[in-house]
Structure 1
Amino acid sequence: MNVLKIIFNFYINSSIHVALAVVSLTAISTLQFNVECNFTLLSFIFLATITGYNFVKYAGIAKLHHLSLAKNLRLIQIFSLLAFIGLVFLVFQLNITALIVSAILGIFTILYALPVFGHQTNLRGVSGIKIFIIAMVWSGVTVLLPVLNNYSIYNVDVILGFIQRFFFVIVITLPFEIRDLKFDMARLGTIPQIYGIRKTRIIGFLMLGIFILLEFLKVDTNIGNVIGVILVAVMCSYCLSRSTITQSKYFSSFWVEGIPIIWLFILLALGEIN
């Protein structure tokens, strides 16, 4: 049992779970926009997510405690290095447009983690914008990259899909912000800090309404996509309503972050009625 717990904690803490969530959202986009589900691109996004997330989470810790890192953190550090090496090999498999977008999103990730604005301030520490940076990067990676890497032409559905994904990511990030209320500094200006938990839930429910509405505005949607969006909105609503400061250890980091994976399986299961 202890071995399984160690493996599961590594799965969560090394960002494998969040990487699978991002890959799932990318695969969803390929289904929605009818573009090629490129294994190389999915692998690139998987490794880039692990590299980026672990850099954001552990770079500061590694700098301060490099000589006395805990065994698990050292393992994550080695794992992240291997992911980065694999990422470098895959870079040359993408087209130039996708590479440019990846580079821009990568810069935002670096600015999010490193204090480049003076006085030890990074984008993460700028009041009120943390959640929107996360949503923009996730939406760019999971909507724009699969479209651009297939040389697809932008259309209304892609724009609506980007906006829809933006709202979705904000909603599934809210349980994390509620959980972190007891840790976050007041200057971060997160939505729960500004509006409180009850109003944060209301904001999330309103965003989920927009999330569903945008699906009906798309030119080329189908009953499978509509059902998938509604079911995902129901799951998000439930998770948001259950989010508290004292939520269980894995509520957000496993269950909430796993919603994109469930969404992908829903679309695959509904594929026959599309």
Structure 2
Amino acid sequence: MCWHTQLVLTGEFQLQPLGAFVFFATLLLYAMHRLVGLSRAEGFKDKGRYFVIERFQTHIGLYALLSGVGTLWFSWQLPWKVWWSLVPVALISMGYVLPIFGRGRRLRDFNYIKIFLIAICWSWITVYIPALELGLEYNIPLLFLFLERIFFIFAITLPFDIRDLEIDRANHVQTIPAVLGVRRSKILAIVALVISAGFAAFTYRLDAYSDGGFAGLISSLLITGAVVIITDPERHDYFFSGIVDGMMVLQFLLIWLGGNIG
């Protein structure tokens, strides 16, 4: 998604320390989140996803260690202006994963806020930070791209809240699917994808997207909508961590391919 932003702003993407830092930091947070989450799911280990996590607990710990080293290594290669802009979202991300609040709570254990924290943090890291590194943080297309990304991330995060309904209920955490139900939450996710497409159209009108790139983006949103529709709380974790999360990778690939073809 950082490369997506680079493509929109410059027409190309490059292998840089920022991309490596985001990769390793994301892997670190995912691994820590899995390990902490496993300790809170004692009554749900019959679920396929928790069996998989427990089975590969040592591997996940190793991923956390290696990705932590990678995160530290590449963080020192970032410009200071980028480093300082990462501090607020890094603190939020750690607070989301680690039980540092009263009664062992994490930010994700507070009612309603986790999906908004995810959307804002992901958009900040994958839109504003790459633009800041390029010295292009002040432009109109970036604003529309930021809003487009927020609604896209919001849409693909709702399926995870649908998946975690049982766990969140057991931990007394209220989420949007807990209030609206699964069907209405899916509708809300589709609406968010439509809004994301609307902001993308503004970005396209400002010539930030090529014809092929914009077609690739719309195609990715349509596929994501189909994935949202078939979301079910009982699906295996690979559906969520592979297919739903994979929509971020797919979106970049279709934009990149569309730009080269178109």
Q: In the alignment, which of 13, 17, 25 is matched to residue 40 of structure 1?
A: 17
Q: In the alignment, which of 98, 101, 114 is matched to residue 85 of structure 2?
A: 101
Contact 2:111 2:173 in 1 (8 A): yes
Contact 2:213 2:259 in 1 (8 A): no
Structure 2 residues not aligned, in runs of 5+:
41-52
TM-score (norm 1): 0.82
Structure 1 residues not aligned, in runs of 5+:
1-24, 64-68
Secondary structure of 2:136's partner? coil
Quick check: 1:212 aligned with 2:189? no
1:254 to partner: Cα distance? 0.9
Could you tell me which residue of structure 1 aligns to residue 126 of structure 2? 142
Name the CA distance, whole Å, in 2 between partners of 1:258 and 1:105: 22
Aligned-residue CA RMSD in angstroms? 2.3
Quick check: 1:126 aligned with 2:110? yes
Name the CA distance, whole Å, in 1 between partners of 2:237 and 2:104: 30
AA matched with 1:85:
V
Q: Deviations over 1:98-140 (max 9, x none)?
A: 1112221110011112333323222111100111111112111
Contact 1:143 1:161 in 2 (8 A): yes
Percent of aligned positions that are identical: 28
Contact 1:36 1:150 in 2 (8 A): no
Secondary structure of 1:270's partner? helix
Contact 1:113 1:122 in 2 (8 A): yes
Name the CA distance, whole Å, in 1 between partners of 2:55 and 2:236: 25
1:220 to partner: Cα distance? 2.8
Secondary structure of 1:154's partner? coil
> In the TM superposition, what are the counterparts of 1:22-37 in structure 2 within 5 Å?
25-34=1-10, 37=14
Could you tell me which residue of structure 2 aligns to residue 246 of structure 1? 234
Task: Single out whichever of 76-85 and 159-168 deviates more from structure 2.
Answer: 76-85
C-alpha spacing 1:215/1:60, structure 2 compared with 1 (3 Å): closer
Secondary structure of 2:255's partner? helix
Secondary structure of 1:188's partner? coil
TM-score (norm 2): 0.86
Could you tell me which residue of structure 2 aligns to residue 163 of structure 1? 147
Contact 2:17 2:77 in 1 (8 A): yes
